[in-house]
Amino acid sequence: MRILHLYRPRLPGTRAQAIQVVHACHALARLGHKVTLLADRAGGGPREALAALGLEPVEGLDLRLAPTTYAPAAGWWFRAQALAWWAGAPGVVLARDKRRLRWLLRTTGGGRHRVVLETHELDSALAIERGEDPARALALERWLLERVDGLIANCGGTLRMWEEAHGDRLPAHRVVAHNAIAPDRRRGPRPPEAVIRVVGSLRAYKGVAALAQAAGQLPLPVELVGGSPEEQAALGAVPANVRLRPPVPYPQVPDLLSRSAALLLPLTDNVFGRHLTSPLKLWDYLGTSVPLVAPDLPSVAEIAALTGAPVHTFASEDPRSLVGAVQAALSAPPRAPFVRTWADRARETLPVLLGPATAEPG
């Protein structure tokens, strides 16, 4: 089956969105489908973009990078490429970008291909949380729901929020498909270093600043690995035992994680933290045998129930409870690594992508 993934990540890149989109397309191609992904160019070509994520080229994955980094020209190129794909044989449009999907359906009139929306958020709910009028976001969500054939949600909380907001407007074909990791990112027990690590972005809505201050009471140093210089600067002064470390290349992350005394997940009690996330870093954490420490939120509980992995939780609204959770983690025995692969995820999405008649490559 021909599949167009409509998102437009910037590649090479290791933001969570780029990691998820490229691996999802790569996994579908490995299952025998013909997948086209259009992306902005950050430097290098498709081979370099895949290598940055630890991937090799695979037959069936048509990864196209814009021929220029000049944004207006790249936008024209993207639109021309999407319309050229649309003019081809019937296939599936898999869209993570709601506005670009609306543009494509308005421009073409729709109807030629099966259309599936993949959602990692509910914009109308996020607007309400910010104190904004949700009318525009609701209108876009309703407009798309009238035209899509299927819905893929990144976690159960996201799907429940769509169901509560839009009820029977949702397509009958819908599925929850959590994030995943590559199977070669699994790591068994290794001699740990005397350090607790947080790996990934340091965005404010994850509550990283409060977590960093609470970490000053922990018995071991805490490394915050990753984040942009702006994100690190936004943390302000951190306790003496909290270290800021620049990002490491994505393929090297599992080895770093596996040498940690404990792994700490930053999330806070907001709409995103409670309902809308299946953190990529948590799936990488799960692929090791290192004890896990995470806030007691429904999103974390959902993944713990799905995997059966022990998680030492603390109250996200009271970072001081972090100390007890970390102490319990540091005295816990190694656990069995849990690996959910991108191929697992791809197989879960196929019935929605291809429709009820078949989920076989074509």
pLDDT surpasses 70 at 361: no
In this prediction, residue 317 has a pLDDT band, given cuts at 50, 70 and 90, of confident
| pLDDT score, position 316 | 83
pLDDT score for 357: 59
- Give the tens place of pLDDT for each residue, 238-281: 999 999 999 999 999 999 999 999 999 999 999 999 999 999 99
Q: What is the mean pLDDT of residues 114-128?
A: 98
Residues paired with residue 65 on neighbouring β-strands, in sequence order? 39
pLDDT digits (tens, 9 = 90+) for 169-183: 999 999 999 999 999
Cα dist. 307→95, 251, 258, 294, 327 in Å? 27, 23, 18, 15, 23
Q: Burial letters for 174-207: b for 16+ Cβ neighbours within 10 Å, e otherwise? A: bbbbbbbbbeebbbeeeebeebbbbbbbbeeebb
What are the tens digits of pLDDT across the range 3-42? Answer: 999 999 999 998 999 999 999 999 999 999 999 999 999 9
Work out the burial of residue 85: count CB atoms within 10 Å of its CB; fewer than 13 is exposed, 13-18 middle, 19 or more buried.
buried
The yes-or-no verdict on residue 165 having pLDDT over 70 is: yes
Q: Tokens standing for 205?
A: 């809505």
Say how many C-beta atoms besides its own lie within 10 A of residue 336's C-beta. Answer: 11
pLDDT(362) > 80: no
Topology classification of domain 183-330: Rossmann fold (3.40.50)
Domain coordinates in residue numbering, the chain? 2-180+342-354, 183-330
DSSP 223-254: EEE---HHHHHHT-S--TTEEEE----GGGHH
pTM: 0.95
Provide the pLDDT for residue 135: 98
Cβ count within 10 A of residue 305: 10
Identify the CA nearest to 224 among candidates 207, 208, 205: 208
pLDDT > 70: percent of the chain: 98
Fold agreement (2-180+342-354, 183-330): yes
Digit-coded pLDDT (tens) for 70-95: 999 999 999 999 999 999 999 999 99
In the predicted structure, residue 358 carries a pLDDT above the cut 80:
no
Which pLDDT score is estimated for 356?
A: 72
Domain 2-180+342-354 has CATH 3.90.1150.10: no
pLDDT tens digits along 218-238:
999 999 999 899 999 999 999
Closest to 338 (Cα-Cα) out of 313, 314, 362, 306: 306
